[in-house]
């Protein structure tokens, strides 16, 4: 794996997230493209793209602790993911952006809206904690003052329910439910990877894009964004056998076509698509199972989607070498951590 990575002149390192509070969900650290002949402390790449290093010494993992800030600051993307603030907390949130993010070296803020936004095209989708366009403009101003790029995020496939609560899009437009016959157990009984998790949209519903594209466009305009995070994580319900459009189809094909359509729309808006990695990893052969990888046969979609999508490879507990897998496939990849710094 190491040799393949260096041959492609790609290096990436996970440097861990940091607990900054305010509802942090997942931290994103950066992948890095190495130009020709650039060297690091870890290896040097010569004209023939061969590695010049002592092969008797195993590559060392990044050193954590006091040297961490130096190493973190060489990464081009040093991102933090947070939920959008509740309406009364917008000013406090802006102060946090201005005062804390520059000190921590953060240069990208991914803001997870879900339905916490007062959409003009669909006001009925705004949930209780929705903020408005003016609030987002305030956050954008704070980000600019802090030298931080703002990227909006919505969950555009799964996570359309939370335990037994159906989220606004499917509540108001149940026709987009991939599995109307399959509902969260009430009362909720978690049953691990064999239980119900979250509802999904039907990615092949003919009216879905005319519903979600305007929502995306509103967030792009409010954030003045040149990138958009579409999530696509933890999709357990896809190509559901009772969906009249998707039943019997290859889940990888359904997933790949949907991701490509989102990417194409974002490309028209001059936005680069970011997405989570888990549906593109085979959870059975890697033993990464059903959350941080796919056990429902979507993983072959990795060869069906455009390579300009940025893959955010999240892991909560450990650091398997999956960022290298995406890099070898030709993607830019951001190793993304949460609870642990190493």
Give the binding site for Zn ion (CB under 5 A).
178, 202, 204, 243, 245-246
Judged by beta carbon, residue 234 or residue 332, the one nearer Zn ion is: 234
| Integer angstrom CA distances of residue 205 from 143, 157, 160, 177 | 37, 12, 15, 9
Compute the distance between CA of residue 53 and CA of residue 41 in angstroms, rounded to an integer: 10
Judged by beta carbon, residue 125 or residue 235, the one nearer Zn ion is: 235
Judged by beta carbon, residue 88 or residue 206, the one nearer Zn ion is: 206
Judged by beta carbon, residue 178 or residue 218, the one nearer Zn ion is: 178
Judged by beta carbon, residue 231 or residue 311, the one nearer Zn ion is: 231
| Integer angstrom CA distances of residue 341 from 42, 65, 84, 111, 304 | 20, 10, 23, 21, 33
- Quote the tokens at residue 235: 């999709």
- Closest approach of Zn ion to the CB of residue 240, in Å: 6
Residues 6+ apart with CB under 8 A from 234: 158, 159, 197, 198, 276, 278, 291
- Closest approach of Zn ion to the CB of residue 204, in Å: 5
- Closest approach of Zn ion to the CB of residue 119, in Å: 24
Given a contact cutoff of 8 angstroms between Cβ atoms, the answer to whether 193 and 295 are in contact is yes
Judged by beta carbon, residue 107 or residue 198, the one nearer Zn ion is: 198
**In 146-248, where does DSSP find H-type helix?**
168-172, 208-223
- Quote the tokens at residue 198: 């979250």
Compute the distance between CA of residue 155 and CA of residue 117 in angstroms, rounded to an integer: 13
- Closest approach of Zn ion to the CB of residue 202, in Å: 3
- Closest approach of Zn ion to the CB of residue 254, in Å: 7
- Closest approach of Zn ion to the CB of residue 337, in Å: 33
Nearest to 159 by CA among 173, 169, 149, 172: 169
């Amino acid at each position: 794996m190491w040799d393949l990575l260096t041959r492609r002149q790609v290096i990436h390192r996970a440097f861990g997230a940091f607990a900054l509070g305010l509802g942090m969900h997942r931290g994103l650290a950066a992948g890095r493209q190495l130009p020709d002949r650039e060297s690091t402390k870890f290896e040097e790449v010569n004209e023939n793209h061969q590695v010049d290093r002592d092969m008797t010494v195993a590559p060392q993992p990044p050193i954590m602790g006091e040297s961490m800030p130096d190493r973190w600051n060489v990464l081009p993307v040093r991102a933090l993911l947070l939920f959008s603030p509740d309406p009364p907390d917008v000013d406090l949130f802006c102060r946090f952006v201005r005062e804390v993010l520059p000190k921590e070296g953060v240069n990208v803020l991914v803001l997870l809206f879900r339905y916490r936004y007062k959409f003009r095209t669909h006001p009925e989708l705004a949930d209780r904690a929705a903020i408005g366009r003016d609030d987002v403009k305030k956050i954008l101003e704070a980000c600019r003052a802090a030298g931080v790029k703002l990227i909006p995020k919505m969950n555009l496939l799964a996570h359309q329910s939370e335990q037994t609560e159906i989220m606004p899009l499917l509540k108001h437009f149940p026709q987009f439910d991939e599995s109307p016959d399959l509902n969260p157990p009430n009362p909720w009984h978690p049953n691990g990877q064999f239980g119900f998790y979250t509802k999904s949209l039907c990615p092949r519903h003919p009216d879905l894009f005319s519903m979600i594209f305007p929502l995306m466009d509103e967030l792009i305009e409010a954030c003045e964004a040149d990138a958009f995070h579409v999530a696509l994580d933890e999709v357990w319900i896809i190509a559901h056998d009772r969906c009249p459009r998707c039943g019997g189809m290859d889940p990888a094909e359904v997933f790949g076509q949907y991701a490509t359509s989102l990417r194409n729309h974002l490309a028209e808006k001059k936005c680069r698509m970011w997405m989570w990695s888990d549906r593109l990893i085979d959870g059975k052969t890697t033993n990464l199972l059903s959350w941080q990888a796919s056990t429902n046969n979507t993983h072959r979609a990795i060869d069906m989607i455009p390579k300009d999508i940025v893959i955010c490879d999240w892991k909560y507990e450990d650091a398997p070498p999956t960022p290298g897998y995406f890099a070898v496939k030709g993607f830019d990849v951001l190793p993304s951590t949460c609870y642990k710094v190493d």
